[in-house]
Structure 1
Amino acid sequence: MKIAAKSTKRGLAVGVIALTALSLGSGVAMAQDDAVDISLISAPFGTGSYVMGSALEEISKKNDTGVRITHTESPGFVFNIKKLDKEPDLKANTIVGSGGGVQGLAKAGAEPFDKQYDGLKLIANYNLNSSWLASLDDDIKTLDDLKGKKVAVGRRAQINWAIQPVAILQNGHGFKDGDVDIQYVGTKESVAALLDGTADAAIVGGYIDPVSNRMMLSPQTIEFLASGRKPNHLEWGADNVTKAREAGISMANVTIPAGIDPSISEPMDGFADSVAWMVAPEFPDDVAYKVTKLILENIEQFGDYQATGKLMSPEGMIYGWDIEDIHPGALKAYREAGLID
């Protein structure tokens, strides 16, 4: 059973212990000489995941929690999973950027993976990505209207912007090969294709906190909506999302809130995929516990580094995951915080 928001929220005992000791003559805080050094590999430079990884590194070095995180970029989440598999010595001291969707594909050995990979364990979600289709054609208002049409999505390896939406169309809604002309062009390119008329529908979306029902639209979606055109937003449907998940593509049901743009006047049944910090099962329990506590106790600071950080919430850190998918050390921290019974 996937973890959703608890109906009764319990307060987190949040306390940040400031480092006040200064090095003699240096005017800077003393280093955590006895802290455990942890590596974090995230995603390409300039992405939201890269910025959030840098934020976690800086927060870890500002707080005397017993862990010191060093963050570097990587080519992406698929690379991260393959790297831990090829270099097993890293499993005991490395956090990676990952997520539910890419984890499901890795464990199944489905494209873009070349074999089955062992599953990783959750430390915390730092984003939840949600996307849907929009059209400028007045005759395209539902998924049924897409038959025989050109639909532009992200590149083939993009989980949230291509693989999951196509899975909903095919495994959820039931379109067969050839029913819809899927064009894998990229996120920004898909919106451009819709605006210039070379696509009948395109992928749009953003980042959501299903606990507070707040959402932040992605840059290409904001650019598209600022064009002054009047789009129709196509609802995925809760049943279609569930069917796609049952077919093996990991995702969670969410509701896209009304009012995030004037063109979205009613809530829509959609999906969300976790964008998360994860570790191998070999990662030490006590270190996972300290890292999770660090995030929980400093969660409000992430918004200072990245706008999507303002969407982080304690409940959202575990949204969409089964308890057995959470690292035991992290699970201890969540139970202490009253987020999991």
Structure 2
Amino acid sequence: MKRHVFSTAAFSGAFIAAATFASPAVAQERYITIGTGGQTGVYYVVGQSVCRMVNRGSDEHNIRCNAPSTGGSVANVNGMKSGELDMGVVQSDVQYRAYHGESNFEEGAWEDMRAVFTMHGEPLTVVARADSGIEDISDFPGKRVNIGNPGSGQRNTMDVVMDAFGWDEDTFALASQLDAAEQAAALSDNNIDAMVYVVGHPNGSIQEATTTIDARLVSVTGEEIDGLIEEYPYYTRSVIPGGLYRGNDEDVETFGVAATFVSSTAVDEDIVYETVKAVFENFDRFKRLHPAFENLNEEDMISDGLTAPLHDGAARYYRERGWIE
């Protein structure tokens, strides 16, 4: 199983469409939307970055792209299923559950989901106030913890962790359900003792939390976590390197998932083909748009964490490049 290590570098929209011709001289644009996440998270940057690459070539392929902020992984899946979104960024575990009809998706497997590529690794990151007494995730009982808003990737992962430890919401003094954009301020204002975030690093929200108060990243380890990694193919052990955030000089062990980019059979093959082509033929430029993209490589992106079948448009491009048969 692959082990993700997160490193640092430098940080960094309106519509996707396919070229269909009403006449030899006039091209009609179609517009689609990519679901992302909170504006402080890397999912938002992923969507914006993909759109930026696509829109650079819009004069040639008549494709434009919009990537608004959304509620996260589960919300993106539901948005694609309803037709409100055409593509989306989704945690690898959420992709698996949606395609197989498990957990949040027990109403039925979404067999029309299609994988496009994998992005960065994402550890479950726990940030606790220095005065909270939390040294490890096992210290959560009796504390005020933001477990994440319903529909978000962190809430989905925390539900799994809570089940593994035998916890429910009554285990905590407070189980708040703030979204990613709200939790750093809540930690700083002493409204919660700890926040959880499934996210690539470095991250602006965690930077905010560790800069405004004394806060530490705490480990997510133990027999319960070992069991989750052994049971589920989409989880990996992860290390968040020390030195990324103020007051956190030591490496922190945890586990996590990967961010994946997905679509559905309802989205035209040419649209997905041009989207994938725009990313991989501007790959060096794309990787410079956020530190979490620094260590991306093509081989991992077309294989790791993809539990749904490849979209026909993505597969077509990968075959042209000789990456798959």
TM-score (norm 2): 0.69
Separation (CA, whole Å) in 1 of partners of 2:151 and 2:145: 16
Query: Post-superposition, which runs of at least 4 consecutive aligned residues in structure 1 deviate over 6 A?
Result: 2-5, 32-38, 246-249, 284-287, 335-341
Distance 2:165 2:204 in 1: 28
**What does 1:41-120 align with in structure 2 at a 5 Å threshold?**
41-43=34-36, 49-63=43-57, 68-73=62-67, 75-76=70-71, 77-86=73-82, 94-107=86-99, 108=101, 110-111=103-104, 115-119=107-111, 120=113
Let me know the Cα RMSD of the aligned residues: 4.2
Q: Which residue of 2 aligns with 1:146?
A: 140
Cα 1:164/1:339, change in 2 over 3 Å: farther
CA contact (8 A) 1:34 1:66 kept: no
Structure 2 residue 187 is the aligned partner of structure 1 residue 194:
yes
Give the whole-Å Cα distance in 2 for the aligned partners of 1:35 and 1:241.
51
Alpha-carbon shift at residue 164 of structure 1 (Å):
0.9
Deviation at 1:293, TM superposition (A): 3.9
1:128/1:86 Cα in 2 relative to 1: closer, same or farther (>3 Å)? same
User: Is the aligned partner of 1:225 residue 2:207?
Assistant: no
Q: Is the 8 A contact 1:100 1:273 kept in 2?
A: yes
| Shift in Å, 1:149 | 1.8
Answer yes or no: is the 8 Å Cα contact 1:171–1:247 preserved in 2. no
State TM-score, norm by structure 1. 0.66
SS in 2 for 1:254: strand
Residues 273, 313 of structure 2: 8 Å contact kept: yes
User: Which residue identity does 2:264 align to in structure 1?
Assistant: A
Q: What CA distance in whole angstroms lies between the structure 1 residues aligned with 2:250 and 2:198?
A: 15
Per-residue displacement from partner, 1:274-315 (whole Å, max 9, x unpaired)? 333212246676765554343222122225655655564435
Structure 2: runs of 5 or more not aligned: 5-24
Distance 2:134 2:29 in 1: 55
Instruction: Give distance in 2, aligned partners of 1:68 and 1:276.
Output: 25
- 2:170 is matched with 178
Listed as ranges, the gaps of 5+ residues in structure 1 are 6-31, 208-214
Moved more, 35-44 or 197-206: 35-44
Q: Which has the larger radius of gyration?
A: 1
Query: What is the CA–CA distance in structure 2 between the aligned matches of 1:305 and 1:121, rounded to whole Å?
Result: 25
Residue 243 of structure 2 aligns to a residue whose secondary structure is coil
Partner of 1:178, secondary structure, is helix
> Does the CA-based 8 Å contact 1:137-1:232 persist in structure 2?
no
Distance 1:324 1:185, change over 3 A: closer
Letter in 1 for 2:90: S
Q: Map 1:1-341 onto structure 2 (within 5 A).
A: 39-43=32-36, 49-63=43-57, 68-73=62-67, 75-76=70-71, 77-86=73-82, 94-107=86-99, 108=101, 110-111=103-104, 115-119=107-111, 120-135=113-128, 136-137=130-131, 139-160=133-154, 162-168=155-161, 170-175=162-167, 178-181=170-173, 182-204=175-197, 206-207=199-200, 215-216=201-202, 218-229=203-214, 231-237=215-221, 240-241=224-225, 243-244=227-228, 251-281=235-265, 288=272, 291-303=275-287, 308-310=292-294, 312-315=296-299, 317-318=301-302, 320-322=304-306, 325-327=309-311, 330=314
Q: 1:251·1:320 contact (CA, 8 Å) conserved in 2? A: no
Report how many aligned residue pairs link the two structures. 298
Q: Classify the secondary structure of the residue corresponding to 2:187.
A: helix
